[in-house]
Amino acid sequence: MSTMKNYEFTLTFKLHASDSDVDEVVERLGAAGCTDALVGIGREGYVALDFSRQSTSREEATRSALADVRTAIPTAELL
């Protein structure tokens, strides 16, 4: 039986020029399920997401977070 654990990790993305409205990007991330991440937007054209996600494994936590980000920002490039 798998138990849920909390996993902390950071994913950093390069944004496409069409995603220049940072407020809109943050709203889309929240709507896509990234409410368990702190969003860092210090460098123009990039976004870092510091996740604290509950899952049965680190791999599943990372995989689900990446899927959520891809839903919100499909053109973002994972660095």
CATH of the domain at 63: 3.30.70
* pLDDT tens by residue, 10-50: 999 999 999 989 999 999 999 999 999 999 988 899 999 99
78 forms beta bridges with 13
pLDDT of 36 reads: 97
Domain count, the chain: 1
Q: Which residue has the tokens 């210090």?
A: 42
| Domain region containing 47 | 5-78
- Checking if the pLDDT of 1 tops 90, the result is no
Helix (H, G, I), strand (E, B) or coil at 61: helix
DSSP element (H, E) containing 26: helix 22-31
* pLDDT tens by residue, 52-66: 999 999 999 999 999
Residue 28 phi/psi, 5-degree rounding, is: -65, -40
